[in-house]
Amino acid sequence: MAQKTASKKPASPSRKAATLANMESLDRGKTAKPKVKGKAAALTQLGRETTAPADPKAAVLETAPNPQTGETYVARFTAPEFTSLCPVTGQPDFAHLVIDYVPAKLIVESKSFKLFLTSFRNHGAFHEDCTVYIAKRIIAAAKPKWLRIAGYWYPRGGIPIDVFYQTGEPPKGVWLPDTGVAPYRGRG
C-alpha cells in the first residue's frame, strides 16, 4: 500500500537567495541585522570580537526586535556563576541569578547581556545594589511587559543574602516556572 507524502512547496527564488545570503554572511562571521520598522537594529557586539567592559555603567546592553510580539511568553536568563566584588573588602562575591521577563517589542540580545554581567567582575557593590541595578538596566533597554530577578548570593560570614525584585504582577495567563534554585542549606 502506497503512502501519501505531503509535498513541500519549493522556496521562491528571492527567498532562497535571501537565505543563502544570510548563510554566507554567517560564514564570514557577520550576522544579518534584524529589521525594526524598516530599519536595521544596531547590534554592535553580536558576531564581532568584543572586549568585556571594565564597569557596568560602561556596558552596552543591546536589544533586538521581539520575533513573537503577538504572544505573551517568559524569557529566562540564568547566570549561575555571577561575580562581583564587595565594595568594602574587595573580596569576590558570587551569586546564582535567575531573570525572567515578558518581552514587549524588544528582547535582550544575549551576547551583550553576558558582557554586561562580566563587567561586574571588578565592580564593587552590595548584593542588593547589583541585583536591582541589573533589573533596572534590562527595563531601561528592553521595556518589558514584566520582569523579575532572583539573586541567590553565596554566603560570606555564614549568611547568604537572597535579593528578589519584580516590576509588579506578572501578566495574566503567563506560565511562570519556579526559579529552580534551592534555598541555602549549608553542607546539609
Q: Which residues are catalytic?
A: 86, 93
Q: Are strands 162-166 and 39-40 parallel, antiparallel or unpaired?
A: unpaired
Cell numbers at 181, concatenated: 534554585
Counting every residue written for the chain, the total comes to: 188
Task: List, in sequence order, every residue forming a beta bridge with 107; answer none if it has no partner.
Answer: 64
**Cα separations in angstroms, 14 against 26, 37, 145:** 18, 21, 36
H-helix or E-strand spanning residue 118? helix 110-118
The residues, any chain, with a CB within 8 Å of residue 19's CB and separated by 6 or more, are 11
